[in-house]
A and B are shown apart, each in its own frame.
Chain A
Amino acid sequence: MNSDQAPPPSENSAEMQSNADQENFSESESIDQSTEELLQVLGRALAEPPEIKRSLLVPIQNRIHHTTRGRYFRDRFSRLKEPLPLILMASILVLMLAAAIFFVFQPIFEAEKAVERPPSPTDPFSGEIPSR
């Protein structure tokens, strides 16, 4: 059902007057003052509907998931409002992984460095005075 193919307007009695309506219609666009006031009252009365307590997105996703027999909105990620949090979470995970790797392998790297570069006897920073 799309608009383009949305359900056709009902064939009730009022609609059957459609052609007659168009032929007989001669209303000008002007509205008298009392009607104008009435419409203003109507507008005010309908201005603020009760607020929706929470977004209808999740129930809508659930309904679609159910009616499509699980084909759509099957996982948590597809239910996210935007893909951005997914990208953000992936980035954070990669960073955490990199940090973990760094901390695990850091002592090994340090040890290797120590083995590779023994203190030179002439090393001014070694703290030892070379004997003559």
Chain B
Amino acid sequence: MVQSSDSLESADSIARLKQRDEHLFNRLVRMHEGNVYRLIWRMVGHQQEAEDLTQEVFVQVFRALPTFRGDSKLTTWIYRIAVNLTKNRGKYLSRRHHKGHDEFDAEKMNKAQKTAQGITMGENSRPDEMAIGRQAESIVLQCLQKLPDEYRQLLVLRDVEHLSYDEVTKITGLAQGTVKSRLHRARAELKASVNERLEGGER
């Protein structure tokens, strides 16, 4: 993800952004809104919520720009704000026992969910393998949503966004060893959850 945005990573651009240059900030938003929205959607699974949080991320970015020290890339810094905001929003919603926004969009989930039974991972030999693939995706998404927030975030950052461990540690603020072990547990938990779901479906 952390795409090259060299024109905004230069010292001159950073200095102008820190002075809250509005035109440059507009460019920053245009360059990164898609990536930030995608990341947040992958973590919260709800379009409206993701759009709202993306807006909030850039408001926070604008507010915090003068204090950006440049220890990390600007994009990594923005991602970190996005992850922290998403985490805080998740906590807020869980305190309020809010479930409505913590699910992947219905159209995505319901594509083939109705007949999602009797599927095993990697089984693609049927003629309707496309439908089966969508069913499998739907099940995996549901299981992903049941994982603890920190596991879900790590899976998204590392296994979906394909960020390096170095970037993940900078974004999450966790030590690399912690990231690796948690990621290991997250994958194991996701796998167990999916298998449980599939076995339940086969019965």
Please report A residues at the B interface, Cβ cutoff 8 Å.
Answer: 1-10, 12, 14-15, 18, 21-22, 24-25, 27, 31, 33-35, 37-39, 41-46, 49-50, 52, 55-57, 59-61, 63-64, 67, 72-73, 78-83
With contact pairs A1-B64, A4-B77 given, residues A35 and B191 touching in the complex (Cβ less than 8 Å) = yes
With contact pairs A2-B67, A44-B133, A49-B47 given, residues A79 and B59 touching in the complex (Cβ less than 8 Å) = no
Which 3 A-B pairs give the minimum distances between C-beta atoms? A22-B177, A45-B137, A2-B64
Q: Of all chain B residues, which has the CB nearest A8?
A: B173
Question: Is A49's CB under 8 angstroms from B23's CB?
Answer: no
A22 to B175 alpha-carbon distance, docked (Å): 8
Q: Which of B24-65 contact A (CB under 8 A)?
A: 26-27, 29-30, 33-34, 37-38, 41-42, 47, 50-51, 54-56, 58-60, 62-65
Question: Is B175's CB under 8 angstroms from A43's CB?
Answer: no
Residue from A39, A44, A67, A80 in contact with B26 in the complex, judged by beta carbons closer than 8 Å: A80
Q: Which of B182-203 contact A (CB under 8 A)?
A: 182, 184, 187, 190-191, 194
Residue from A24, A33, A35, A59 in contact with B55 in the complex, judged by beta carbons closer than 8 Å: A59
Residues of chain B within 8 A (CB-CB) of A52 are 33-34, 37, 51
Residues of chain B within 8 A (CB-CB) of A55 are 29-30, 33
Instruction: Report B67 CB to chain A, min CB distance, Å.
Output: 5
B contact residues, total (Cβ < 8 Å): 72
Residues of chain A within 8 A (CB-CB) of B59 are 60, 63-64, 67
Q: Of all chain A residues, which has the CB nearest B123?
A: A37
Q: Of all chain A residues, which has the CB nearest B23?
A: A83
The reply on B129 being an interface residue by CB < 8 A is no
Binds A, one of B2-10, B95-103, B154-162: B154-162
Q: Which of B148-184 contact A (CB under 8 A)?
A: 148, 150, 155-156, 159-160, 170, 172-175, 177-178, 180-182, 184
Q: Of all chain A residues, which has the CB nearest B34?
A: A52
Question: Is A49's CB under 8 angstroms from B42's CB?
Answer: yes
Question: Is B22's CB under 8 angstroms from A72's CB?
Answer: yes
A15 to B144 alpha-carbon distance, docked (Å): 19
Residues of chain B within 8 A (CB-CB) of A27 are 180-181, 184
The reply on B71 being an interface residue by CB < 8 A is yes
The reply on B88 being an interface residue by CB < 8 A is yes
Question: Is B136's CB under 8 angstroms from A41's CB?
Answer: yes
Residues of chain A within 8 A (CB-CB) of B172 are 9
Residues of chain B within 8 A (CB-CB) of A9 are 84, 87, 172-174
Question: Is A10's CB under 8 angstroms from B91's CB?
Answer: yes
Residues of chain A within 8 A (CB-CB) of B76 are 3
Residues of chain A within 8 A (CB-CB) of B110 are none
Question: Is A3's CB under 8 angstroms from B42's CB?
Answer: no
The reply on B115 being an interface residue by CB < 8 A is no
Residues of chain B within 8 A (CB-CB) of A37 are 121-122
Residue from A8, A10, A50, A60 in contact with B47 in the complex, judged by beta carbons closer than 8 Å: A50
The reply on B131 being an interface residue by CB < 8 A is no
